[in-house]
Amino acid sequence: MTMQTLKLGKWGNSNAIRLPKKMLSEIGIASNDDEVRVEITNNAIVIRPQKKQKALEKLFANYDSSKPYPFEIVDKGGAIGEELY
């Protein structure tokens, strides 16, 4: 666990904290475009990396495996060549 004292700075009308690259890399944040979740828990500010959702996870986000698969909407097509069924 890395512990470091950081100073608040001014950023427009807000305050900001600059986090060292080494500290960010320890929790898996590598680029300026990465997103973080910030929450207040027990009088502490907790910063966690926001996991990016993979394309496959997005496709199946609303999939309900308890429902039967809708085979009637799947185009099964017919034989095109010499396929054996």
Question: So what CATH class is 8-73?
Answer: mainly beta
Whole-angstrom distance, CA of residue 60 vs CA of residue 27: 27
Q: What is the dihedral of CA 53, 59, 62, 65, to 10 degrees?
A: -110
* Tens of pLDDT, residues 3-34: 889 999 999 999 999 989 888 888 888 877 88
Q: What is the pLDDT of residues 27-81, one digit of tens each?
A: 888 877 888 899 999 999 998 888 777 788 888 888 888 888 777 777 777 777 7
* Per-domain boundaries in the chain: 8-73
pLDDT at 44: 93
pLDDT given for residue 59 in this prediction: 84
pTM score, two decimals? Answer: 0.52
